[in-house]
Structure 1
Amino acid sequence: MLKTGFVKALGTMSGTSLDGVDAAVIETDGVSIASFGKGDYLPYTTTEQEVLRRHLGLWPQDGVQNAAKVVEDAHLEIMTRFAGVDIAGFHGQTLAHDPGGRGTHQCGDGRRIADGLGVPVVWDFRSNDVAEGGQGAPLAPFYHFALAKWIEADAPVAFLNLGGVGNITWVDPRHDDPAAGGALLAFDTGPANAPINDAMQSRRGVGYDVEGRLAAQGTPDQQVITEFLAHPYFLRPPPKSLDRDDFAGLSAAIGPLSDADAIATLTQAVVESVAQALPACPEMPSRLLVCGGGRKNATLMDGLSAALRCDVHSVEDVGLDGDMLEAQAFAFLAVRAARGLPISAPKTTGVKAAISGGRVAMPRDSV
């Protein structure tokens, strides 16, 4: 199905912040990175975002055809801009995530994407991990391991992704195999941009707090943050994962606050949840490399620098593209999955043993 050696893989990501679709190409053999290709971004329209928000928390049997069409149409629009790729990774849109319960639901059909692109598409990345007792998230850690090798890190580093939900990957690049014991630890740190974006939308009619400017004008409510940090999630040992709305109580608690104080409180809650996460790492990382939209929030980044006992950098400081990193991850994982290589492990998702995952859809005219 897939030629040997390095191939050009296209990956996509539509995160829980519901802002749009990232797409990016890398050249990889599923073990290491040969080169980075171009990336692109397609924002969801306000109407599309409203459709997706109405379907959050729903499962396939609940009737999600409208959301699926939004997701598939947007992905096909951006993915067909890329020519000459050998394989694609389609993550879809997470609508519900309940590992240990109902499972995990990423909306969108990879078979339609494969037909539209004319190349094999790997999709439904998380279900196999959840079926085998894992959390199904986070899935980027194996790519983070390859990135640590790419930047020639010689001591443990951590990648912090601040998307809708925050997640951290601690990497020991002195190992050769990401599936080896001690090579990786990964888990969700807590809410990140999702509650900030939701509050900005409901209060100000805009999608996010540009550069953290509104947060900088406010004062965090420490009582709200203290109650937030008492959530049982923070007492659970990693690996562990969250659904977008697991901290709905935090969003409710900021209701009486002014706009500036509310956004300042949500921003500081992200900082303090990350500060609580780092002691769970096997050793303090030499650097914390931040990706995702949160790295563009100066108030959030300044808060992390003040709160943490390690250097905090945007991933751009080491030559990486923080806007496209998660899309690149699913390009990388598509190649690994197509070749039967593990994409998750006990210390990344809590699965019993390192396993591969995903389903491969072949374009119908090639079958």
Structure 2
Amino acid sequence: MGDAGVKHAETQGAPATGRGRDGLFRAVGLMSGTSADGIDAALIETDGEGRVHVIAGQSRPFVPETRASLLAAMRAARAQGAQTTETPEIRDAVRRLTLAAAEAVGDVIAQVGLTAQAVDVVGFHGQTVNHLPDKGFTWQIGDADLLAQLTGIDVAHDFRSADVAAGGQGAPFAPAYHRARAISAGEALPVAVLNIGGVANVTWIGEAEMIAFDTGPGNALLDDWVHAHTGLSFDAGGALAGSGAVHPDVLTALLDHPYFDAPPPKSLDRNDFDIAAARGLSAADGAATLAAMTVGAVALAARLLPAPPVRWIVTGGGAHNAHLMGELARALGAPVVDAGAVGWDGDLLEAEAFAYLAVRSMRGLPLSWPGTTGVPEPMPGGRLTRARR
């Protein structure tokens, strides 16, 4: 379950002592989201708890052949249902993704003049190709053994399987990092961190409680629509959506889905929704209506939070969409700021999170909680593949 498509040399789930300096570990985190448009790499130093120092990071777009391969792997995986059979499409995507990941690791550590020997672990999330938590199934592809050998660094991976096996949703997994950053920044509580990637998710952080769940589609439907109608990969700045008119009947149909009424924790696969309801609309009106769905889903999610957030901090690609940001502020009736306003790099936050989670995994600390994924108790997870030194 969950980790097919990943080859292992030596794997273990026990805590590792690592080469931590003063209790701190250097870790590179990697994230290629459900939009499959590129891979982010971030280098941090952390104890996996309250101490975090961000050192460097970068985003690398996939070459067209890699993105096409990953999308083909997603289609092949979805066709299988809750199975992890490696097809030629999936094998091709595994290798392309892993090679891109190795390049990203090498580049981000070279960016600050470090060598592989100065890094303790890589947190390799892999690419989600199918996510069916209600069937006890999640699948992230990537070759952890190959990545470890190419980089010369131990690789923590398979973060989600233990959570799903214990009855959790297997997502979202960044809340622990969101909380660490919010507390260290002295954010007034409660605060909400809204990540708008292919799927959007929210982390609500209170004084003694943390809740997280997927709110609904993020950029995925809008990206699909824009690509189908313009050939572009996304709606830059929300210009197309901002020029169109929302069709209330279509929006109502899109939001009339049982997912939005279900209590958290809950999670989605990128393909749980599609653009079919908007067919027949003009390019601009379809973009406006699908953007309104993303915003409407967040507004519905806000009703499920224990208390209204003091403010919303938006990360991910959606934070660059001025149209979305403006509509969110109107719909939520609270301050909405992008991550840069609080000194965070919103484009790299998820990659930073998986560096942080890699250290927590090595230390045997929880990665998920009842309030974030629905597991019965705080749940450690992940596996460690050693580099052959």
Measured against the shorter chain, the TM-score band is over 0.9
What stretches of structure 1 of length at least 5 have no aligned partner? Answer: 176-182
Distance in 2, matches of 1:220 and 1:55, equals 33
Distance in 1, matches of 2:370 and 2:381, equals 14
Distance in 2, matches of 1:9 and 1:115, equals 16
Native 8 Å contact 2:29 2:353 kept in 1: yes
Q: Which position in structure 2 is the counterpart of 1:129?
A: 163
Distance in 1, matches of 2:378 and 2:123, equals 20
Task: Answer yes or no: is 1:72 the counterpart of 2:98.
Answer: yes
- 2:32 pairs, out of 14, 29, 46, with 14
Question: Taking structure 2 as the reference length, what is the TM-score of the superposition?
Answer: 0.89
Q: Which position in structure 1 is the counterpart of 2:51?
A: 33
- 2:331 pairs, out of 293, 307, 310, with 307
Q: Which position in structure 2 is the counterpart of 1:95?
A: 129
Task: Answer yes or no: is 1:353 the counterpart of 2:377.
Answer: yes
Higher alpha-carbon deviation: 136-145 or 107-116: 107-116
Native 8 Å contact 1:17 1:164 kept in 2: yes
Q: Which position in structure 2 is the counterpart of 1:48?
A: 66
Q: Which position in structure 2 is the counterpart of 1:3?
A: 19
Distance in 1, matches of 2:18 and 2:235, equals 43
What stretches of structure 2 of length at least 5 have no aligned partner? Answer: 1-16, 78-82, 110-114
Q: Which structure 2 residues correspond to residues 285-324 of structure 1 after superposition, within 5 A? A: 285-324=309-348
Q: 1:65-102, CA deviations, whole angstroms, 9 ceiling, x for partnerless residues?
A: 01101111110111112133221100010000001215
Q: Which position in structure 2 is the counterpart of 1:200?
A: 226
Distance in 1, matches of 2:48 and 2:66, equals 33
Q: Which position in structure 1 is the counterpart of 2:151?
A: 117
Distance in 2, matches of 1:34 and 1:245, equals 34
| Partner AA of 1:126 in structure 2 | R
Once the two structures are aligned, what percentage of the paired residues are identical? 45
Tell me how many residue pairs correspond in the alignment.
355
Native 8 Å contact 2:190 2:309 kept in 1: yes
Native 8 Å contact 2:136 2:167 kept in 1: no
Q: Cα distance, 1:33 vs. partner?
A: 3.0
Distance in 2, matches of 1:37 and 1:310, equals 32
Distance in 1, matches of 2:71 and 2:280, equals 24
Question: Taking structure 1 as the reference length, what is the TM-score of the superposition?
Answer: 0.95
Q: Which position in structure 2 is the counterpart of 1:220?
A: 246
Native 8 Å contact 1:22 1:39 kept in 2: yes
| Partner AA of 2:18 in structure 1 | L
SS of 1:116 mapped into structure 2: helix
Superposed CA RMSD in Å reads 1.1
Distance in 1, matches of 2:281 and 2:185, equals 43
| Partner AA of 1:205 in structure 2 | G
Task: Answer yes or no: is 1:153 the counterpart of 2:192.
Answer: no
Q: Which position in structure 2 is the counterpart of 1:180?
A: none
Distance in 1, matches of 2:52 and 2:277, equals 47
